[in-house]
């Protein structure tokens, strides 16, 4: 009788233990969507929770702020780098937030290259750990190329590049799709870049990026965090 009772206890323990493991493994990742409207931000300020930093700063940080722009794709306000404040060509100007954490999903933004003699244009950063560690995608109308890099401990390495000519002073849309180690880059809904990279495996902040003296405006910044499988589906839509 004691053997029968002991067997039943062990059987029930095993069943509940394995069912608990199975339930834990089937929990889906949470889907979140962030749409940043600059229309609610006062002129001259940054969106709440955003900060200005730089990779390789030499001298004062660049000035980023919300300004009025009649050419804005939506509304009348945009977030722009309006003043460089330094002369170092190796500085990466950042405006970003760690309040929004991104691992897999889709990031979209509209951008307009305004000025810059050494560099022009800009783009987005994601999985940002700090000012020296992140992924970045950018378009440069002076070089006529669209590229994805990682910046690790301040050192930048190119992962993918595509030639495309888009004149400055006009609005374009950039989109990044991240699914696990797979990264795809789009300009105006055209897929131009695809690369696999394992440099940054953890979620991180998101934001905007320009290099050196590139003064650029941004609008309609959207972040959609998805389970990796759903992000992969977005890349094939």
**pLDDT per position as a tens digit, 33-72:** 888 889 999 999 999 999 999 999 999 999 999 999 999 9
In terms of CATH architecture, what is 33-236? Sandwich (2.60)
Nearest Cα neighbor of 149 from 36, 55, 27, 31 is 55
Tell me: pLDDT of 119 over 60.
yes
Q: Is 157 exposed, middle or buried (0-12, 13-18, 19+ CB in 10 A)?
A: exposed
**Per-residue pLDDT tens over the stretch 148-202:** 999 999 999 999 999 999 999 999 999 999 999 999 999 999 999 999 999 999 9
Nearest Cα neighbor of 72 from 43, 93, 98 is 43
What backbone torsions phi and psi does residue 94 show, to the nearest 5 degrees?
Answer: -120, 140
Looking at the chain, which runs of residues are DSSP E strands? 32-36, 51-55, 63-68, 77-83, 92-102, 105-115, 122-130, 133-140, 145-152, 155-163, 171-179, 182-187, 190-196, 204-211, 215-225
- The domain ranges of the chain are 33-236
Look at the pTM and tell me if it is higher than 0.95. Answer: no
**Per-residue pLDDT tens over the stretch 138-162:** 999 999 999 999 999 999 999 999 9
């Amino acid at each position: 009788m004691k053997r029968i009772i002991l067997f039943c206890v062990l059987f029930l323990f095993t069943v509940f233990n394995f069912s608990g493991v199975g339930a834990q493994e089937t929990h889906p990742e949470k889907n979140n969507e962030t749409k940043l409207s600059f229309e609610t931000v006062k002129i001259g300020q940054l969106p709440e929770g955003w900060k200005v930093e730089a990779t390789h700063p030499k001298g004062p940080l660049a000035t980023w702020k919300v300004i009025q722009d009649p050419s804005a794709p939506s509304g009348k306000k945009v977030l722009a780098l309006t003043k460089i404040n330094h002369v170092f060509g190796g500085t990466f100007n950042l405006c970003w937030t760690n309040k929004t954490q991104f691992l897999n999903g889709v990031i979209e933004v509209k951008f307009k290259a305004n000025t810059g003699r050494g560099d022009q244009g800009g783009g987005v950063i994601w999985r940002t750990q700090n000012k020296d560690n992140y992924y970045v995608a950018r378009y440069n109308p002076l070089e006529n190329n669209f590229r994805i890099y990682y910046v690790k401990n301040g050192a930048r390495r190119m992962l993918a590049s595509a030639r495309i000519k888009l004149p400055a002073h006009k609005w374009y849309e950039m989109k990044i799709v991240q699914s696990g180690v797979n990264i795809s880059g789009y300009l105006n809904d055209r897929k131009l870049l695809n690369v696999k990279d394992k440099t940054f495996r953890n979620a991180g902040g998101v934001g905007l990026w320009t290099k050196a003296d590139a003064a650029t405006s941004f609008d309609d910044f959207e972040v959609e965090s998805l389970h990796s499988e759903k992000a992969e589906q977005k890349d094939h839509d």
